[in-house]
Amino acid sequence: MIKFDKLWKTMESKGVTTYRLRERCGLDRKTIRRLKENDNIETKTLNKICAALDCKLEDIAEYIPE
């Protein structure tokens, strides 16, 4: 399972709110909800988030074996 728990920690450390992330990436509320629920996310969305937060993929997501 891919988990996005690191995303929220990275956002907090960079002082970025969910609203600001949505504005920077052009994300909708549905996508934010999917991230919070560790649901499927397109790689282009992950790319936008990494660019907006100036971070690497491993700073926002991790694989956890089920």
For position 49, what pLDDT does the model report? 97
Round to whole Å and give the CA distance between 45 and 64.
20
Nearest C-alpha neighbor of 61 from the set 30, 49, 52, 51: 49
Q: What percentage of residues in the chain have a pLDDT greater than 70?
A: 100
Confidence check: pLDDT of 66 > 90: no
CATH at residue 20? 1.10.260.40
User: Mean pLDDT throughout 32-61?
Assistant: 97
Q: Based on the structure, what is the number of domains in the chain?
A: 1
What average pLDDT is seen over the chain?
Answer: 96
Confidence check: pLDDT of 4 > 90: yes
Q: Which domain holds residue 56?
A: 2-63
pTM of this prediction? Answer: 0.91
